[in-house]
């Protein structure tokens, strides 16, 4: 246990969490291969579920009370918690897919934003840029974690990067979190500057870092389904997430197939897998 009351993971536990991370990555990879105009978000949900099961895992989203699906699919002005259904994706849609898997008692959690090919090239380019900025802010946060003394340095790095790119919004009502035996554990991982330092970054800390960035205002509303979070001003949104472990040797991005090597390269950081 850490001084703050959440469980620090042993190397052996982190290795088990890697398996859940890879099953989560497989779920998102299945969607990457399928996503196109004309497909429904429910079809994507099924593909992710099949891929997670093929990896020996099961959906942990289905363990959240009242939720029956494997992914959240949030389209255009929807930021997070969109429910898969009969919505047919259109050319140029920006779609954030959040996915998680559990193997044994260990969890993974990751999100990716896709731009559906086609549509108005100008709109698609703007949406791709929003997704790229959000993804890069995630890697900036992960890179900050690698060198951080305190956890709040992650949010500082994310905020600094996002605001350096223009007049974008960062959601504040929804944040990242510790992860382990449950998908959502303490501590909170903010995507913006906060006053407190937060817990010390020590070996055994495993967190899901997940910036949610909007092209306009970051003020949101929850739709009538009770789940879907969308921007109040109807501006586009993007969500990227990885589960990241800190251990004695360094950091390891558990939900990235390459452990985070590609995303961290430009920061001069090499992830350190455990074996
Ligand atoms: Mg997630
Ligand atoms: Mg999460």
> Over the stretch 158-193, which tens digit does the pLDDT of each residue have?
999 999 999 999 999 999 999 999 999 999 999 999
Q: Where are the alpha helices (DSSP H) in the chain?
A: 11-34, 41-54, 121-147, 152-164, 261-264
Beta carbons of 251 and 145 less than 8 angstroms apart: yes
pLDDT at 43 over 70: yes
Ligand nearest to the CA of 177: 2
pLDDT at 90 over 80: yes
The three-class DSSP label of residue 148 is coil
Alpha-carbon Rg for the chain, nearest whole angstrom, is 17
Ligand nearest to the CA of 176: 2
Q: What percent of the chain has a predicted confidence (pLDDT) above 70?
A: 99
The structure tokens listed for 185 are 């554990």
The three-class DSSP label of residue 30 is helix
pLDDT at 1 over 70: no
pLDDT at 4 over 90: no
CA of 165 to the centre of ligand 1 (A): 24
Question: Measured between alpha carbons, how far is 273 from 68 in angstroms, rounded to an integer?
Answer: 33
- Residue-level pLDDT at 3: 66
The three-class DSSP label of residue 239 is strand
The three-class DSSP label of residue 171 is coil
pTM of model > 0.95: yes
Ligand nearest to the CA of 81: 1
CA of 109 to the centre of ligand 1 (A): 5
CA of 38 to the centre of ligand 2 (A): 28
Average pLDDT of the segment spanning 92-112: 98
Tell me the pLDDT of the chain averaged across its residues: 97
Q: Do you know the residue count of the chain? A: 275
CA of 184 to the centre of ligand 2 (A): 7
Residues contacting 120, CB < 8 A, separation 6+: 92
- Residue-level pLDDT at 5: 78
**83: confidence class by pLDDT, cuts 50, 70, 90:** very high
Question: Measured between alpha carbons, how far is 211 from 50 in angstroms, rounded to an integer?
Answer: 27
Which residues fall inside 5 Å of ion ligand 2, going by CB?
A: 109, 208, 210
Ligand nearest to the CA of 179: 2
Beta carbons of 127 and 90 less than 8 angstroms apart: no
pLDDT at 197 over 80: yes
């Amino acid at each position: 246990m850490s001084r703050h009351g959440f469980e620090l993971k042993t190397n052996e536990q982190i290795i088990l969490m890697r398996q859940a991370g890879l099953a989560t990555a497989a779920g998102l990879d299945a969607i990457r291969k399928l996503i196109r105009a004309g497909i429904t978000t429910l079809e994507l949900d099924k593909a992710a579920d099949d891929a997670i099961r093929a990896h020996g895992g099961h959906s942990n989203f289905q363990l959240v009370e009242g939720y029956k699906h494997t992914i959240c699919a949030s389209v255009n002005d929807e930021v997070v918690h969109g429910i898969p259904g009969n919505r047919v994706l259109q050319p140029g849609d920006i779609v954030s897919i959040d996915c998680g898997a559990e193997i044994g008692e260990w969890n993974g959690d990751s999100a990716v934003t896709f731009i559906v090919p086609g549509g108005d090239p100008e709109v698609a380019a703007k949406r791709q840029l929003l997704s790229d900025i959000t993804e890069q802010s995630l890697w900036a946060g992960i890179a900050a974690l690698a060198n951080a003394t305190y956890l709040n340095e992650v949010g500082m790095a994310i905020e600094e990067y996002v605001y350096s790119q223009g007049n974008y919004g960062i959601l504040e009502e929804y944040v990242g979190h510790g992860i382990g035996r449950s998908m959502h554990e303490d501590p909170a991982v903010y995507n913006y500057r906060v006053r407190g330092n937060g817990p010390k970054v020590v070996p055994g800390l495993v967190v899901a870092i997940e910036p949610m960035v909007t092209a306009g205002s970051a003020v949101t509303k929850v739709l009538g389904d009770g789940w879907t979070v969308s921007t109040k001003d109807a501006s586009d949104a993007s969500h990227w997430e990885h589960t990241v472990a800190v251990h004695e040797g360094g950091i390891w991005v558990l939900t990235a197939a390459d452990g985070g090597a590609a995303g961290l390269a430009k920061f001069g950081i090499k992830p350190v897998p455990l074996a």
